[in-house]
Amino acid sequence: MKQWIAFIRKEFYHVFRDTRTLLILFGLPVVQIVLFGFALSSEVKNIGIAVLDNAHDAASVQVTNRIETSSYFHLTAPVRSYAEIENRFRDGSIKCTLVFPSDFGAALGRGGQVQVQVVADASDPNTATTVVSYLSAILAGYAGELSPTHRPSYQIVPQIRFLYNEEQNGSLNFVPGVIALIFMIVATALTSVSIVREKELGTMEILLVSPLKPLMVLVAKAVPYLLLCIVNLVLILLLSVFLLKVEIRGSLLLLFAESVLFIIVCLALGLLISNLTSSQQTAMLISMMGMMLPTMLLTGFMFPLENMPWIFRVISYVVPSRYYYEITKAVMLKGLGFSHVWRETAVLSGMATTLLMVALKTFKTRLA
């Protein structure tokens, strides 16, 4: 036991000597939280737009003014022809053009129907569909004001309530995602080099002749990182609560227990990678480059899982961060208890045990 503690102490020295890695370890979540909280938004705003005004009457000018004052659009110099629209699309300065027909004002004045064209740069389909719906809303609003007395006769009016997030705080969705992403990559990468580094630098031999059992070696390797990750978790939670105003609704204890479980899964995965590879470079390329995109895509917080082809939904069942994301959403944001997340917890526990066992089996007690 005493030997084991000395061994853990050695591992701590290794970790805390490397201040640059520590700096990144704590800097990464801070930067991500700030970026997600204040820079990135899935809302589409400031879309470059131009008008092709064949009417030049009071109505078309009024509509143009409305577009100019809308925060969704950024009105640029008008275009005069379809060829010019194409040129402006090509240099990327606008994403759409509103084309007024020459009889725009006249047709509206007679109280009739009029058609306008919206030419959208659909190379970005998301923006293209958003543009059409924003413009339709602006035009419908304008048309509605032209005939204010008219009230449709049969109306079903939806009363919308936003559950769990009445202020529609955009940060809510990504906080669990960021936590899941960071641990999935960082925790795995940290332990993935731990054993292979000793192999590469030749210190593995000393480890192997020590009286410690393989299990003890593996656990001792993971303990300092587990501690670091927990400190990191506290930091992220503090930032989310105080900087992003995300309210933690459920039990803090449960959230912590689940997070520690998830961190253990990631650390175990890292140990397994470390056992299977022969150089630090390979280990890190697998744990960082190999896992970065799949984790980002298959956790479910950037792209909805239910829209993906079935094969991806099947693959996503082996991605640990997917379960952790579900758990954090339920516990932290919806305030639900253990009875709602026991299934996910069971899966994570199963993964942790399996990974640790496989890591133990693949730990080679002989060199070469």
Partner 1 sequence: MSVLLFLLEKEFRQIFRDRTILAMMFVLPIVQLIIMPLAANFEVSNINVALVDHDHSSYSRELTAKIASSGYFRISGDAASYSQALRLVEDGQADLVLQIPAGFERNLVREGWQEVGMAVDAINGTKSSIGAGYLTAVIADYNRSLAMKLNVTGQSIATAPAAIEVIALDWFNPRLEYKFYMVPGILVLLLTLVGGFMASLNIVREKEVGTIEQINVTPIRKWQFILGKLIPFWIVGMVVFTVGLVVMYVVYGIFPMGSIAVLYLFAAVYLIALLGLGLLISTFCDTQLQAMFVAFFFMMIFMLMSGFFTSVDSMPDWARSLSNYTPVTHFIKVVRLIVLKGSGMAEVGTELLYLVGFALVLNGGAIMNYRKTS
Task: Specify the stretch interacting with partner 1 by CB under 8 A; choose among 5-13, 158-166, 219-227, 263-271.
Answer: 158-166
Q: 328 with 179: CB under 8 angstroms?
A: yes
Q: Rounded to whole angstroms, how far apart are CA atoms 332 and 15? A: 31
From the CB of 90, what's the least distance to partner 1, in Å?
4
Work out which of 1, 83, 156, 206 binds partner 1, going by CB under 8 A.
156
From the CB of 261, what's the least distance to partner 1, in Å?
19
From the CB of 165, what's the least distance to partner 1, in Å?
4
86 vs 205, beta carbon nearer partner 1:
86
Q: Is residue 129 part of the contact set for partner 1 (CB under 8 A)?
A: yes
163 vs 206, beta carbon nearer partner 1:
163
From the CB of 210, what's the least distance to partner 1, in Å?
23
What is the layout of strands, in order, in the sheet containing 96-100? 73-75, 47-53, 96-100
Per CB under 8 A, contacts with partner 1 among 47-86 are 47-48, 74, 86
Task: Specify the stretch interacting with partner 1 by CB under 8 A; choose among 24-32, 219-227, 254-262, 352-360.
Answer: 24-32
Q: Rounded to whole angstroms, how far apart are CA atoms 349 and 320? A: 10
Work out which of 304, 365, 366, 368 binds partner 1, going by CB under 8 A.
304
Q: Rounded to whole angstroms, how far apart are CA atoms 221 and 199? A: 14
Residue type, 355: L
From the CB of 56, what's the least distance to partner 1, in Å?
17
Per CB under 8 A, contacts with partner 1 among 319-358 are 326, 329-330, 333-334, 336, 340
Work out which of 5, 6, 24, 215 binds partner 1, going by CB under 8 A.
24
Per CB under 8 A, contacts with partner 1 among 160-199 are 160-166, 168-170, 172-173, 185-186, 189-190, 193, 197
Dihedral (Cα; 155, 161, 162, 166), 10-degree rounding: 130
175 vs 360, beta carbon nearer partner 1:
175
Work out which of 102, 147, 210, 354 binds partner 1, going by CB under 8 A.
147
100: helix, strand or coil: strand
Q: Rounded to whole angstroms, how far apart are CA atoms 262 and 268? A: 10
Per CB under 8 A, contacts with partner 1 among 99-128 are 108, 111-128
Q: Which residue has the tokens 């959208």?
A: 120
> In the numeric block, which tokens belong to residue 232?
């990191």
Q: b or e along 4-19 (b: 16 or more beta carbons within 10 Å of the residue's beta carbon)?
A: beebbeebeeebeeee
Per CB under 8 A, contacts with partner 1 among 209-268 are none
190 vs 269, beta carbon nearer partner 1:
190
From the CB of 91, what's the least distance to partner 1, in Å?
4
Instruction: Of 284, 237, 283, give the one whose Cα is nearest residue 259.
Output: 237
Q: 270 with 188: CB under 8 angstroms?
A: yes
Which of left, alpha, beta for 46 (phi over 0: left; psi -120 to 50: alpha)? Answer: left
# chain residues binding partner 1, by CB under 8 A: 122
